[in-house]
Amino acid sequence: MTFQTTDLCDANEGLLAEGRLRVLEPHFRHFGGRQRFSGPISTLKLFEDNSFVRKQLEQPGYGRVLVVDGGGSLRCALLGDQLAEMAVRNAWGGVLVYGCVRDTAAIGTLDLGVMALAPHPQKSLKRNVGEIDVTIAFGGVRLHPGEWLYADEDGVLVSETPLT
């Protein structure tokens, strides 16, 4: 991928002004082997339960980015190496977690974009509770299923439409 979020912001100042292109607050760290990733968004809303993360990543990703609103919890991880490997096998473009991840050394070797708030060694609960493809909000922006996410070393953008 050749885009840079800085260039996308500069080239789309009108979209930024209109709110059709939004910049997430810089709370996220890279953990995956791919630092730059993009794709249409699929969303999850859950709390300290990664059952639905598995359900989504078991499905073909078609280059999509799974955006997980984990409520910003820093008490357990919502993604580990096994689920990240599943994401690679099923052609997901990346995973952005508003929460924690674990097995970061292994995730760092995978050809997958992974961003999260922090690492955490404890796994999540398994209650099978969550919501799929709903509008979520964190990092100062609202994210809608089907919008486009662009992430690199400088930050994360969300656009209503694909950017060139």
Residues annotated in the binding site for Mg(2+), as ranges? 103
Strands (E), 64-106: 65-69, 77-79, 94-101
Question: What residues are designated binding site?
Answer: 80-83, 102-103
- How much is the CA Rg of the chain, to the nearest whole Å? 14
CA dist., res. 35 & res. 116, Å (int): 12
CA dist., res. 13 & res. 35, Å (int): 24
Question: What residues are designated binding site for substrate?
Answer: 80-83, 102
CB atoms within 10 A of CB 41: 22
